[in-house]
Amino acid sequence: MSDNRERAAERTRLLREEIVYHETKYYRDNDPQISDSEFDHLVKELEGLEAKYPDLITPDSPTQRVGEQPHEGFASVGHRTPMLSLDNCYSPEELRDFEERIRKLIPEEDLEYVLELKIDGLGISVIYREGSLAQAVTRGDGVRGDDVTSNVRTIKSLPLSIDLTGEVEVRGEIFLPLPSFQALNREREANGEPMFANQRNAAAGSIRMLDSQVVAARKLDAFLYTLFIDGAEAESQWESLQKLHDLGFKTNLRSRLCRNLEEVTDLYHSLSEERDDLEYDVDGVVIKVNAADQQRRLGQTSKFPRWAISLKFPARQATTRINDILIQVGRTGALTPVATLEPVKLSGITISRSTLHNEDEIRRKDIRIGDTVLIERSGDVIPRVVSVMKDKRSGKEKAFVFPTACPVCGTKTFRPESEAVARCVNPSCPAVVRESILHFASRRAMNIEGLGEALVDQLLDSGQVHEIPDLYHLEPAGLEQLERMGLKSSQNLLDEIEKSRHNNLSRLIYALGIRYVGERTAQILAGHFRSMDALARAAREELEEIDDVGPKVGESVAFFFREPRNRALLDQLRAAGLNFAVREAQGTGEEPLQGKTFVLTGVLQSMPREQAKARIESLGGKVTLSVSSKTDYLVAGSDPGSKLRKAQELGIALLSEEEFLELISD
């Protein structure tokens, strides 16, 4: 029996080492070495041995991350040294003021800075004693926090033991990754529970739950950035980050050592562009004086360290008031409710409108005219209402009644049982015609420059245009009668319309406004069928067999070409001389940039970045926001920023603006 136990003891030791290794590779390094099923097999084997020999269970065993009974509350614990909050600034100009304050205190000294992403999560202090995780405490008020040790032990990127004796304290930020946040909100919505407004609220709510098994299911994560060994700090913040990583902790790989404030500012702008590409929420960057000796001499105020500051990104959430709710009718006839808002600054622009998506969304969130709401903007997407602040209601708010008829033409709306959107089914509805023309002429479709909303409205009101093909029969005399349309501007518009006749097939397919067919799908269809006629003849089954098309898109495309009015539209466009076939080197199958991934950085002198992106995609390439090992080319304009440095580190091919222009022209 003793031999069996000795073999079990040795096997459990080896299993623990192997599991910890694979947890580190998976959760810290994002570099899994085995499949999930293989990993699960190792864990189950260890659980079986520990169940058979309970005396072999150790506090740092991977099986002990979860298993404690729910607590009745959290004990309050004092921090060994205060966890100070940071002063904020909101522009590079204010950051220069921060450096000037530093130079007054330590003049004529060289300064280096460490820049770290400011994770919008929950501050945490974790104590290790003699190599084992002993205690975890929330930031709290900075002096005292809650003991949440059992919940923090569920975070798999956080080691349960480290190869260092004595007392080690690490500090960092707990957060909920975006996929976990989205899954959690879907589950709460399905259960009729209120959804979390953002990832930070979800992380804070999760870490304070009393049942650690529920916490484990939420898959929290953590980045670490501060290290104390027996109360002592490293010689620099950069060294602290390196030591944390060497000890097995997860640090943010986007942290950088900067030699001056110009590098800090450059990196700030670059990270601001990439923030929507991350799987965790960030609201700015933290800039720290690197040298620990300088930090000590700079000291702190009663609230903030003088050697660190947070430079915030433009806000993406704000509160405002709904003044009214209007209905917009889109090119597919979809009725979309839009809130008109009390204007508010968000992400550097003034927001006065927000989408409410559909009737069900209004009912689910109980949105009323007059409500105070929290709105959110992600990237260039139109803002959305996150939640209603019902405690601010005065009783004068009015419920919105969704119309049963189109507000533009009066036609009775139709809403299929399987869809959340009601639609106007009148193809001649002025709103549908207007939006269809605007989409057709848009930059990513037929790219008819100058044909914007104001001019389209004038063309419709004057009767010169009733449908899309009429654009190709406009006359100078009629255009010159319109407001702000003299001889030169009229000729410029006609030249743009003439040029659009020669656009490639994928642009025309996208411009038709077929439901579910975006730019990329249009390129795929053009590459596969090579002509509009072949596409129009395709059966739904043939369409569904194409990669990245699928049943929903296939049915939509087939339905579009079955409709007599759409057939008539194509006949008119053909008669107008538009290109209906793929020319050499066009289409997905033979596109010269097919399968190539580009990243754009810096300022391009020859064209806006959006135009460069559209050109790459029209040639089959893909444009992403951040540099990775999967990037094929980095196009570097002037003032390229940190993306250039990362591309050089990874050995990515670099293109100057001149080389890029030569590539796309070839």
Contacts of residue 370, defined as CB under 8 A and 6 or more positions apart, other chains included, come to 321, 322, 323, 393, 394, 396, 397, 398
pLDDT for the residue numbered 475: 94
Are 43 and 92 members of one domain? no
pLDDT for the residue numbered 589: 43
630: annotated active-site residue: no
- Each residue of 588-633: pLDDT tens digit? 444 678 778 899 887 777 777 767 887 887 787 888 877 888 889 9
pLDDT for the residue numbered 116: 96
pLDDT for the residue numbered 590: 47
Query: Does residue 541 form part of some domain?
Result: yes
- Residues 201 and 151: beta-carbon distance below 8 Å: no
Are 170 and 244 members of one domain? yes
Strands 122-129 and 282-289: unpaired
pLDDT for the residue numbered 170: 97
Residue 321: which of 366, 360, 375 has the closest Cα? 375
Query: Does residue 411 form part of some domain?
Result: no
pLDDT for the residue numbered 73: 66
Degrees, nearest 5: CA angle 85-87-88: 120
- Each residue of 94-122: pLDDT tens digit? 999 999 999 999 998 999 999 999 998 89
DSSP state of 414: E
Residue ranges, the chain, pLDDT below 50: 67-71, 379-380, 585-590
Task: State the pTM of this model.
Answer: 0.52
Are 97 and 215 members of one domain? yes
Are 571 and 596 members of one domain? no
Q: Dmax of the chain from CA atoms?
A: 103
Query: Does residue 107 form part of some domain?
Result: yes
* Domains identified in the chain, total number: 6
What range defines the domain where residue 237 resides?
88-312
Query: Does residue 607 form part of some domain?
Result: yes
pLDDT for the residue numbered 26: 63
Domain boundary among 403, 421, 456: 403
Residue 475: which of 463, 62, 296 has the closest Cα? 463
pLDDT for the residue numbered 391: 86
pLDDT for the residue numbered 32: 63
CATH number at residue 479: 1.10.150.20
- Residues 643 and 599: beta-carbon distance below 8 Å: yes
Q: Which of 52, 104, 118, 250 is catalytic?
A: 118
